[in-house]
Amino acid sequence: MKEDLINIKNQAIARISDCQSLNELEEIRIDLFGRSGIFTNASKNITKVATEDRKQYGITLNEVKTTILDLLTEKKNHINSNVRTWFDPTIPGEKQDLGHLHMVTNAINEISEVFTKIGFTRVRYPEVEYDYFAFGALNFPDNHPARDDWETFFVEAPASSQYGPMLLTPHTSSGQIREMLANKPPIRMINIAKCYRRQMDVSHYPMFHQFEGLVVDKNISITHLRGTIDYFAKNFFGENRTTRLRPYHFQFTEPSFEVDISCNVCSGKGCKLCKEGWLEIGGAGMVHPNVLKNCGVDPKKYSGFAFGWGVERVSMMKSGLSIPDIRLLYSSDLRVLKQL
């Protein structure tokens, strides 16, 4: 009797593995498990089995049943997975989202293009610097309170006996020193880099970008500074823009200025956006003789001008974008990034 069950199982296995279609598979299932199917009858036969063999017969019945049912399911899945769904090659494909460069990257490219056109060389210097290059050589006396205006991140590393503690560049002006130590005048550099300051709120981010211009040559005067600034304003912001200089103080320039650009909303008349027709873009000035001396440049023979402005700032001014929270600029939120 038990042999009959094993035969049923083996035959079923053979039929199922030869089977090619779902219809045929269904026939096999009915042949086995239908009302008078082979397996159904075999299970009814249990009453005819001798009492002492009945338990074993029952166990075998169950084994055979699960083996066959598992095989049927497996085969069904196999047949289904081979059925090709109809594919229409003429339907237009789904358009993939195209990324784009970040607003700040675009601004950096544009700024360097504007300056390289008039003979400036784009340079890069270390962002992890020594105090001397960021402050000392720029004419900041040791422990001078002016240093507090640059809320500096110091690096936990051994200080240099010559150059002092290590820090993250709080401004690109350190590039002036590096440039003058590396090259003799004439110098025309544009240093665009990341800056770091311990500030974070809606209008400050601990990492931001500046572009620093430095020109050192014989007979460089404020006129050259004015001309360069005007050239930048017109080429970056538009032909109709003008600039003005306001006296200011920086340790590393003398005289020093804040540079303003005419407001494009009110064309200089005065509006909600600006201070009486002018918007502030950043600092500038004539390189301080001490700074030249610190870099081995003779202030009797050479003079220079410098300026250092924020990339994010000019970029937002140009686009007219007013970002309610500057931190959004560096978030990975696609809803923001797509708009920049």
| 284: contact with ligand DAH by CB under 6 A | yes
Q: Exactly one of 196, 285, 291, 303 binds ligand DAH (CB under 6 A); which one?
A: 285
Q: For the CB of residue 279, give the shortest distance to ligand DAH in the complex, in Å.
A: 16
Q: Exactly one of 173, 243, 262, 315 binds ligand DAH (CB under 6 A); which one?
A: 173
State the Cα–Cα distance between residues 39 and 37, nearest whole angstrom. Answer: 6
CA 3 to centroid of chain Cα atoms: 71
**Peptide bond between residue 206 and the one before it cis (omega within 30 degrees of 0):** no
CA distances from 49 to 10, 36, 40, 46 (A): 21, 19, 15, 5
DSSP summary character for residue 222: H
| 169: contact with ligand DAH by CB under 6 A | no
State the Cα–Cα distance between residues 285 and 248, nearest whole angstrom. Answer: 9
CA 57 to centroid of chain Cα atoms: 69
Q: Exactly one of 190, 308, 311, 317 binds ligand DAH (CB under 6 A); which one?
A: 308
State the Cα–Cα distance between residues 32 and 34, nearest whole angstrom. Answer: 6
Q: Exactly one of 307, 313, 316, 317 binds ligand DAH (CB under 6 A); which one?
A: 307
Indicate the residue among 29 and 209 with the shorter CB distance to ligand DAH.
Answer: 209
Q: How many residues does the chain have?
A: 340
Site string for ligand DAH, 185-224 (x = CB under 6 A): ---------------------------x------------
Indicate the residue among 167 and 306 with the shorter CB distance to ligand DAH.
Answer: 306
| 175: contact with ligand DAH by CB under 6 A | no
Indicate the residue among 19 and 179 with the shorter CB distance to ligand DAH.
Answer: 179
User: What are residue 285's DSSP bridge partners?
Assistant: 256, 306
B/e letters for 162-190, b = 16+ CB within 10 Å, e = fewer, are eebbbbbbbbbbbbbbbbbeeeebebbbb
Q: For the CB of residue 173, give the shortest distance to ligand DAH in the complex, in Å.
A: 4
Binding part of the chain for ligand DAH, among 55-63, 157-165, 198-206, 277-285 by CB under 6 A, reads 277-285
Interacting residues with ligand DAH between 249 and 268 (CB under 6 A): 250, 253
By the criterion CB under 6 A, which residues form the site for ligand DAH?
171, 173, 212, 250, 253, 282-285, 306-308
